């Protein structure tokens, strides 16, 4: 079975590596192409760099050369048009495997693959269809999330389900941590799913009446509204780590709140939201919210290094008693 893998961010890299593994080789799987987004400016100097999947594909190609294995093209089209469809058609691909590619595949493109295409989605579909399911599970403080592998369909994340795995959440996960866990587990699910497709296995239709959706996150979403509850702000801090990070304003300077927890002692509560109440020797810097107190343990001024709360206060003596936001 000849595979075209489509993906861009780091969460997709272990699945790409799985398709190149000995396990998949034994199942007759051959990676015949990688589709990823074009190189984009990154870093201080804005030099164009490949996506994480693009970088992984380059490493894999070097390994393939050393091992004498067939090489594959790495494709980075600006758009999926008739010319690009001709390129893909020439590769004689059997199945498209997509994970966080971030672009829509139209019917003409999907018609190129005899086995159609599958998508790896980091939620328990039909919950959290859309681009930010990992962040949504953390923002909503879910106790369970998961991974679904489904057939691609013209309705976003609406295809028949081939496999699903549940993941218990502790309430301490960041998006970075949870994405790393999902990345590894999704890769382990792939071989059985590919074998199921080869042997004619069918997917299970989703209950579309239970579908929920999530939307793109912008940098502005990271701005803390101190009128919200401590519980909600704490969840945002974890959901927006590593991007866009949660931030506030202190004395006209942008201040990132990197780590925090909900403070349990309500006796110190005040009415002014965003007021830095003081410290707790065990839990950190205490900030009043619209409901409850947030205990902050790691902070960072823009363009400065991240600091543990005690070290931060050593250089910011006027912080207690100030108003954030």
9, part of any domain: yes
For 298, the domain range is 219-315
**CATH number for position 294:** 3.10.25.10
Of 153, 177, 210, the residue at which a domain comes to its end is: 210
56, part of any domain: yes
Shared domain check, 248 and 204 = no
DSSP 3-state assignment of 110? helix
Q: pLDDT per residue over 214-251, tens digit each? A: 999 999 999 999 999 999 999 999 999 999 999 999 99
Q: Does the pLDDT value for residue 208 go beyond 70? A: yes
Confidence of residue 18 (pLDDT cuts 50, 70, 90): very high
Shared domain check, 290 and 223 = yes
324, part of any domain: no
Shared domain check, 27 and 105 = yes
* H or E stretch covering 84: helix 82-90
The per-residue pLDDT for 194 is 96
Shared domain check, 84 and 35 = yes
Of 192, 210, 228, the residue at which a domain comes to its end is: 210
The per-residue pLDDT for 23 is 87
The per-residue pLDDT for 268 is 67
Shared domain check, 153 and 24 = yes
Most confident of 46-55, 172-181, 269-278: 172-181
Shared domain check, 10 and 138 = yes
The per-residue pLDDT for 265 is 78
Confidence of residue 27 (pLDDT cuts 50, 70, 90): confident
Q: Does the pLDDT value for residue 26 go beyond 90? A: no
Place of tokens 């942008």: 254
Shared domain check, 139 and 32 = yes
Of 210, 245, 273, the residue at which a domain comes to its end is: 210
**What residue ranges in the chain does DSSP mark as E strands?**
2-7, 30-35, 40-42, 47-49, 74-75, 95-99, 117-121, 144-151, 161-168, 246-250, 253-263, 276-280, 284-288, 293-301, 307-308
Q: pLDDT per residue over 129-169, tens digit each? A: 999 999 999 999 999 999 999 999 999 999 999 999 999 99
289, part of any domain: yes
Shared domain check, 137 and 67 = yes
The per-residue pLDDT for 267 is 67
Shared domain check, 62 and 121 = yes
173, part of any domain: yes
Shared domain check, 204 and 234 = no
Q: Does the pLDDT value for residue 72 go beyond 80? A: yes
The per-residue pLDDT for 311 is 97
Q: pLDDT per residue over 182-199, tens digit each? A: 999 999 999 999 999 999
Mean pLDDT of the chain: 95
322, part of any domain: no
243, part of any domain: yes
- The total number of structural domains in the chain stands at 2
Shared domain check, 277 and 161 = no
Shared domain check, 156 and 30 = yes
Contacts with 83 (C-beta within 8 Å, 6 or more apart), sequence order:
none
Q: pLDDT per residue over 82-120, tens digit each? A: 999 999 999 999 999 999 999 999 999 999 999 999 999
Q: Where are the alpha helices (DSSP H) in the chain?
A: 13-19, 22-26, 52-67, 82-90, 107-110, 133-139, 175-198, 230-239, 309-315
Distance of alpha carbon 216 from alpha carbon 210, whole angstroms: 21
What single-letter DSSP state applies at residue 219? G
Confidence of residue 9 (pLDDT cuts 50, 70, 90): very high
The per-residue pLDDT for 299 is 98
118, part of any domain: yes
């Amino acid at each position: 079975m000849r595979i075209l893998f489509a993906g861009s961010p780091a969460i997709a890299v272990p699945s790409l590596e799985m398709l190149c593994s000995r396990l998949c080789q034994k199942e007759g799987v051959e990676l015949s192409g990688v589709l990823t987004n074009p190189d984009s400016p990154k870093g201080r100097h804005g030099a164009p760099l490949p996506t994480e999947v693009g970088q992984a594909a380059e490493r894999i190609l070097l390994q393939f050369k050393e091992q004498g294995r067939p090489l594959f093209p790495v494709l980075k089209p600006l758009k999926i048009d008739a010319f690009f469809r001709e390129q893909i058609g020439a590769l004689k691909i059997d199945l498209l495997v997509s994970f966080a590619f971030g672009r829509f595949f139209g019917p003409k493109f999907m018609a190129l693959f005899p086995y159609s295409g599958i998508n790896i989605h980091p939620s328990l579909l039909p919950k959290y269809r859309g681009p930010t399911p990992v962040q949504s599970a953390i923002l909503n403080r879910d106790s369970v999330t998961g991974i679904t592998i489904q057939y691609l369909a013209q309705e976003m994340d609406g295809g028949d389900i081939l496999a699903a795995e549940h993941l218990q959440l502790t309430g301490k996960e960041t998006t970075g941590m949870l994405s790393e866990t999902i990345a590894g587990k999704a890769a382990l699910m792939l071989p059985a799913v590919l074998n199921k497709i080869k042997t004619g296995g069918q997917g299970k239709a989703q209950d579309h009446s239970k579908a929920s959706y999530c939307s793109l996150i912008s940098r502005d979403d990271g701005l803390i509204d101190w009128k919200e509850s401590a519980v909600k702000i704490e969840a945002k801090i974890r959901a927006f780590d590593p991007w866009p990070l949660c931030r506030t304003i202190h004395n006209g300077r942008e201040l990132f709140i990197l780590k925090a927890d909900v403070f349990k002692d309500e006796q110190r509560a005040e009415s002014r939201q965003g007021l830095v109440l003081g410290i707790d020797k065990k839990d950190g810097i205490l900030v009043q919210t619209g409901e409850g107190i947030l205990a902050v343990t790691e902070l960072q001024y823009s363009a400065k290094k991240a600091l543990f709360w005690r070290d931060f206060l050593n250089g910011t003596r006027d912080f207690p008693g100030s108003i954030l936001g």
